[in-house]
Amino acid sequence: MADFIIVMSVLRREVETGWIIGEAQVGPRVMPGIHIAMPWPIDRVTKLKVQQLQRLVVGGELPDTITGRAQPLQSQFLTGDQNIISMRVVVQYSVGVPVDYLVRNENVARSVASAVETALAERIATRNVDAVLTTEKQSIQEEVRAAAQRIIDEYRTGVLLSTVNMESAVPPPEAADAFRDVASARADSSRIISEAQGYANDLIPRARGQAQQLLEEARAYKEKKINEALGDGARFTQVAAEYDKASEINGQRLYLETMEQILPRIKKLIIDKNGNLDLTIVRKGESSK
């Protein structure tokens, strides 16, 4: 009886030092060789599958959600823009430190779930609902896994997180219709913007082409007018030079030609500066008819 009391006192002291769980002695690593354990109730051997991935759901299982047995408060999170969103996150983890996993935690799954839920609530609270539902999903998963792993390491849970996957992120049923309307309006807005952008992409090049064409036509018209003006100026210079050679005769001829153009098909009476009528021209005009 004394020997049994001595053995139990030794076991109690080892329990207090963290090397005994129940009646089982645990080491940080099981080294190669022969390991002999005394029969129960003195010793008990617990074998862990350290490479096996274990699954944990934060926010309720899918069957519970479908049947309506899920707890809403466990799956609802508050976003940075004061919206409520229901989420279901699947966590996969394995045993990292066997001693901590066996000795230092009464309920490892609950500790892991609490750490993931805390990290997830912190990350969701810094983003708006649109980012959580669309573009920020991947970054949130990575941030939650890293933050939850730090919490787990701090509490010495002995768990190594493998993945944190956001399987579901939806608005609560009470606001689902409003969210669908907003999503539909956002889709319509994106479609209209895309159509407008396509119209602009089609119209702007055509407008630029037409503008370039008008510029080319304007340049051609400018060159044409300049050339015509130069030609008229050169012709006028030549006519002026010839006019200077016989200015009186040429002046009279030009005057008469001009009058012919101004007053077509009209009988004309030519009167000189002394008021005398030149009847020869009249008679020539009548005889030619």
Tokens 């645990």 found at: 26
Amino acid 71: pLDDT: 59
Mind giving me the DSSP string for 108-167? HHHHHHHHHHHHHHHHHTTS-HHHHHTTTHHHHHHHHHHHHHHHHHHTT--EEEEEEEEE
| Percentage of the chain exceeding pLDDT 70 | 76
Beta bridge mates, 277 = 271
Residues of the chain with pLDDT under 50: 1-25, 285, 288-289
Q: Does the reported pTM lie above 0.85?
A: no
Residue type, 52: Q
Residue 22 is predicted with a pLDDT of 40
> How confident is the model at residue 2, as a pLDDT?
38
Residue owning tokens 């309307």? 181
Q: What is the pLDDT of residues 172-225, one digit of tens each?
A: 777 677 777 877 887 888 889 999 999 888 888 889 999 999 999 999 999 999
